Structure 1
Amino acid sequence: MLLREFWNDRFWPYCTRNLRESTRVGYESAWRLHVMPCFGGMDMGAISVELVDKWLADFDTAGAARKAWAVLRAILRRAIRWNLLDVDITRRDIQLPAKTHYEPTILSIRQQRALLQGFYDHPLEAWIICAASCGLRTEEGYGLEWSDIDLRSGVLHVERGLQWVSGHEAVVPPKTELSRRTLPLPRFAIRRLRELRPREGGRLIGPLTPPQAARQYASWCKRHNLSYVPARNLRHSWATNTLAAGADIAIVSKMLGHSDIKTTAKYYLKPDITALRDAQRLWERALVA
């Protein structure tokens, strides 16, 4: 079967039934721009490791190559699962371009405090409180509604996300089953949210769309000389600072809604030089004892 026939007749209908809209948009773009021009007219069984390696070597950026390969791999693995393909090249050593290391900018505890104070009485204050103090994913913060917050118990419930996809809003379920979670709010947040809670409820970002909320957040930080990081890095800041303060990594992983504690360790556990020196002192003490 030709790859484009499998895409049109089987794989894309499967995607429309089972994948988030944002994921489908990414798949369709990678297919149209990169996979289809090279492999669309080929029989699936004729796609070899050698051809894939040559294809990947021609990409301008590692990011585009990796995304395109992820889509081709998903297509081929689905064909194997449906017994339409016998040889699985996706398990072999495909030569992917080196991934660019990304080190997110995070806020220090002092900067987080200044940010929360700087948004006092701003329409986005309730959102910034929850996003900065609970390690929410960006889409989770945008999708948070006042009905999700139980101020009597001091918790918020992560029930959905709100994404901006192809020029419109898309309400999506939590990323994984562990992402549907109940999180405790800090005491200052409970007190302030009681004062901010509107009678009519609704979203914490009000009538704003996610891009509008992001622009208002960035412009307010710039206007009032507040340390700015993208909304997604509020999550990074909370996790990194909470771990640095001594919280158990397993608990932080649960707060973040990670399926694997290794993800938390890889992206958020960043011991500073003081912690590293403490570790050396412990080793030295054992050495000379």
Structure 2
Amino acid sequence: MKLSEFYPEYMSSCDGLRESTRVGYESAYRVHLQAAFGDVELLDITVQRVETWAAQYADHPGACRKAWAVLRQMLRKAAKWGVIPYDPCSAGVTLPRKKAYTPPTITAKETKTLLQGMWGHPLEALMIVATVCGLRRGEACGLQWEDIDLRRGVVHIRRSVQYVAGHIVVEQPKTLLSKRDIPLPRFAVNRLRQLKGKGRLIGDLTPLQVARKIKTWCRQHHLPSIPLSNLRTSWATNALEAGVDLKLVSGILGHASIETTARYYLVPHIEAYKEAQRRYERFLLAS
């Protein structure tokens, strides 16, 4: 059986996928896998063949790894179903190394400046909650005023909104732990009480339109500007620098494990490193 013949069977077995994930799989197959492996018999897909294909993506390692993940899942499923005797790539495949990436973040002082600069903006409520709760962009855009309990000062994360294939998709949060309740700082509760409205915090906008409007506003008013999704990284970084326990930060972010938090969200600012050295110096000189 050729990969192109197996692909429809594989996709029909993925009923539980989020729509955004399904679209991503379909895109990876169409753009990166179909031409290279579509007419190849499953038994002829070897480690050497895959590594030869992967070598062409030296300048685009991210795209390669995403496409490889889809191919790997298909081969595993084929082996599980008995279509092929074993997964030919189970021994491991050498893929292009991803370049080191440090997500942009803003400091606590810059965060304060940003929130002050959003005062009166139609998306101010969204920015407050997204910034002080470390939300994913989809989680922030999925919030409704009914999700914010201002009496208790708690935000209930119950859905995520994505813009997929030209339309809005409302989905469950990313993981089981992503469905969570997050306490709000007192200043946020006080301001949200003044802004209290109804319906979605973003109105009829799409997540992409929200991101563009915020970026334009920040540029026009000379405010600290980072992608909306990186407000999450900034919250985690600043919370950890403030001394919040890693496990608590992981729980508020809705991560499945603290390893994820430590690996991707612990991005100390230079001032944190300086403070570490000052503490070391005091300890050293006092010895």
2:114 equivalent in structure 1: 115
1:125 Cα deviation (Å)?
A: 0.7
Counterpart-to-counterpart distance in 2, 1:256 and 1:23: 20
Alignment equivalent of 1:214, drawn from 202, 211, 214: 211
CA distance in 1, matches of 2:86, 2:127: 50
Distance 1:279 1:47 in 2: 56
**SS at 2:122 equivalent:** coil
1:58 counterpart residue number: 56
For 1:246 and 1:126, the matched residues in 2 are separated by: 26
Matched residue type, 2:183: P
CA contact (8 A) 2:46 2:89 kept: no
Whether the aligned pair in 1 keeps the contact of 2:10 and 2:74 (CA below 8 Å) is yes
- For 1:52, the aligned partner's letter is V
Q: How far did residue 281 of structure 1 move? A: 4.7
- The 5 Å alignment of 1:85-234 reads 85-198=84-197, 201-234=198-231
What secondary structure is seen at the aligned counterpart in 1 of 2:39?
Answer: coil
Amino acid across the alignment from 1:228: S
Letter in 2 for 1:53: E
Q: Counterparts of 1:269-288 in structure 2 under 5 Å?
A: 269-271=266-268, 272-277=272-277, 280-281=280-281, 284=284
SS in 1 for 2:22: helix
1:25 aligns with 2:26: no
Q: TM-score scaled by structure 2? A: 0.93
8 Å contact kept, 2:102–2:267: no
Which blocks of at least 5 consecutive residues in structure 1 are unaligned?
none
Is the 2:134–2:252 contact (alpha carbons within 8 Å) kept by the matching residues of 1?
A: yes
Paired residue type of 1:42? V
Runs of 5+ in structure 2 lacking a partner? none
1:81 maps to which residue? Answer: 80
Structure 2 counterpart of 1:47: 45
**Number of residues of Structure 1 aligned to a counterpart in Structure 2:** 283
Q: 1:57 to 1:223 in 2, by over 3 A?
A: same
Question: How far did residue 220 of structure 1 move?
Answer: 0.8
Deviation, structure 1 residue 283: 7.9
Looking at structure 1, the residues matched to 82 and 279 of structure 2 have their Cα atoms a distance apart, in angstroms, of: 53
Contact 2:137 2:207 in 1 (8 A): no
What is the CA–CA distance in structure 1 between the aligned matches of 2:81 and 2:120, rounded to whole Å? 56
> Structure 1 residue 224: deviation in Å?
0.8
What is the root-mean-square deviation of aligned Cα atoms in Å?
A: 1.7
* Alpha-carbon distance, 1:90 to partner: 3.3
Q: Secondary structure at the match of 1:157?
A: strand
Flag the 1:240–1:83 CA change in 2: closer, same or farther, 3 A: same
TM-score (norm 1): 0.93
Aligned to 2:7: 7
Match for 2:115: what amino acid? L
How far apart, in 1, do the equivalents of 2:79 and 2:281 lie?
A: 54
- Looking at structure 2, the residues matched to 283 and 34 of structure 1 have their Cα atoms a distance apart, in angstroms, of 55
Asked whether the equivalents of residues 45 and 87 of structure 1 are also in contact (C-alpha less than 8 Å), the reply is: no
SS at match of 2:13: helix
Q: Structure 1: how far apart are the matches of 2:73 and 2:138? A: 24
Q: Is the 8 A contact 2:160 2:172 kept in 1?
A: yes
Question: Offset of 1:139 from its aligned partner?
Answer: 0.4
